[in-house]
Amino acid sequence: MSDGFTYKKAGVDLEAADRSVELIRPWVKMTNRPEVLADIGAFAGFFALDLARFPEPVLVSGTDGVGTKLRIAQMMGIHDTVGIDLVAMCVNDILVHGAEPLFFLDYVAVGKLVPEVVEALVKGVAQGCVEAGCALVGGETAEMPGMYGEDEYDLAGFAVGVVNRPRLIDGSRVGGSQVVIGLPSSGLHSNGYSLARKVLIEKAKFGLDQEVEILGKTLGEELLTPTRIYVRSILRLMSEVDVKGMAHITGGGIPGNLKRILPEGWGALIDKSKLPVLPVFRLIQETGNVDEEEMYRAFNMGIGFVLIVDEAEIDQTVSLLQSEGEKPIVIGKIIPGIEGVVIK
């Protein structure tokens, strides 16, 4: 046997990669939609678009990651939830434009390929895809020694959806006599973790396994709570209500994201007293002495998704969303003559 270098000696284990594929195969299969044409293992994913349902199709795509929330998962050794976050960050973004998520692809980069860790990550992705109703049609796992530590990994996701051109939502119909309705978040979702870690772990020295009274759970449990996926409730709503605009509340908070769909000459006035500020946000603000404006800029502050409808459709909108298990809150209104988003 040669004593020369091999790919495995260089840090890349092809056998582990093959085993990873076998472990994730059943998780991928559980996400299939009727339009999927190929099983895992092909060089690409195949998806036959149903033109009977979408005669004027506009494909809507989005990509995102999970950010430094991954560091919490790696510190805790819990890897089966951040995949849900990955899907949520992508599908909620394309949902904003009225698109039904069709299929998803993931990219997993690791320092050392441990098949069971990859399986846990993809299991989470698959669970997110099932919740969003989209198929996981493919992905890539890259073992990259020297780029990442042995216990480190990064995730990226790519979602493609479709909407009929007349139903495309771009904010251009936002205007007078309309209200802003918020859907609660489950916590930080996947934004602001660099600030949260700096305040809670580095400054306050909280342990991830430490019970925190204000949270009613351990800090780790709070920080790994998955991002909510709003697809099913919003698709149901759009089938019956003419939604004028939507925004996924991610980095930049309500001010930074809602303003992206406001036409020139129109602004949004948000009633701060209506926002269900969660205990984790109060903990961060008080522990880190974080300015309130900075809190609203860095975090969702309890609202993960917003939509804009006519005042005349408030009752129907609220009722439909409640029937889908949501807890909608009228948090503001659209008004002329102000710039962007005002929270007061």
How does strand 303-310 pair with strand 340-343? unpaired
Q: Does a structural domain hold residue 9?
A: no
Q: What is the pLDDT confidence band of residue 228, given thresholds at 50, 70 and 90? A: very high
Q: What is the predicted pLDDT for the residue at 132?
A: 98
pLDDT at 12: 85
43 and 137, same domain (yes or no): yes
**288 lies in a domain?**
yes
Domain membership flag for residue 5: no
Which of 1-10, 193-202, 234-243 shows the lowest per-residue confidence on average (mean pLDDT)?
Answer: 1-10
Same domain, 332 and 184: yes
DSSP letters along 185-234, please? -SSSTTSSHHHHHIIIIIIS---TT-EETTTTEEHHHHHTPPPP--HHHH
Tell whether 172 is covered by a domain: no
pLDDT of residue 2: 60
Residues of the chain with pLDDT > 70, as a percent, come to 99
| CATH number reported for the structural domain that contains residue 205 in this entry | 3.90.650.10
* End-to-end CA gap in the chain: 73
Q: Is residue 54 part of a domain?
A: yes
Higher-confidence position of 5 and 236? 236
Determine the structural domain holding residue 209 and report its residue range.
178-343
Q: Is 181 helix (H, G, I), strand (E, B) or coil?
A: strand
What is the residue-averaged pLDDT of the chain?
Answer: 96
Helix (H) or strand (E) holding 82: helix 82-95
Number of domains observed in the structure of the chain: 2
Same domain, yes or no: 279 and 329: yes
Same domain, 100 and 127: yes
Q: What is the pLDDT of residue 6?
A: 87
Q: For the segment 24-66, what is each residue's pLDDT rounded down to a tens digit?
A: 999 999 999 999 997 666 789 999 999 999 999 999 999 999 9
* Cβ atoms of residues 153 and 143 within 8 Å: no
The pLDDT tens digits for 64-105 are: 999 999 999 999 999 999 999 999 999 999 999 999 999 999
Q: What is the mean pLDDT of residues 105-131?
A: 98
For the segment 316-334, the average pLDDT, to the nearest whole number, is 98
What is the average per-residue pLDDT within 227-244?
98
Do 206 and 336 sit in the same domain of this protein? yes
Q: Are residue 119 and residue 207 in the same domain, yes or no?
A: no
Same domain, 263 and 315: yes
Same domain (yes/no): 79, 226: no
* Cα 14 from Cα 112, distance rounded (Å): 11
User: What is the share, in percent, of the chain residues with pLDDT greater than 90?
Assistant: 92
d(CA 191, CA 320): 28
The confidence score (pLDDT) of residue 164 equals 98
Residue 342 has pLDDT above 60, yes or no: yes
Are 49 and 157 found together in one domain? Answer: yes
Q: DSSP code of 79?
A: -
Residue 151 has pLDDT above 90, yes or no: yes
Q: Give 10's pLDDT tier (boundaries 50, 70, 90).
A: confident
Q: Sort 235 into a burial class: Cβ within 10 Å, 0-12 / 13-18 / 19+.
A: middle
For residue 154, pLDDT beyond 90 = yes
- Residue 185 sits in the same domain as residue 163: no
Decide which of 167, 201, 221 is a domain's last residue: 167
Segment holding 93, helix H or strand E? helix 82-95
What pTM was computed for the model?
0.96
Q: What is the DSSP string of 22-44?
A: HHHHHHHHTT--TTB---TTSSS
- CATH number for the domain including 20? 3.30.1330.10
Among 146, 167, 188, give the residue marking a domain's end: 167
- Among 141, 167, 193, residue at a domain's last position: 167
184 and 320: one domain?
yes
Average pLDDT, stretch 199-203? 97
The tokens of 99 are what? 């698109």
120 and 231 share one domain: no
Helix (H, G, I), strand (E, B) or coil at 251: coil
pLDDT at 8: 85
pLDDT tens column, 252-302: 999 999 999 999 999 999 999 999 989 999 999 999 999 999 999 999 999
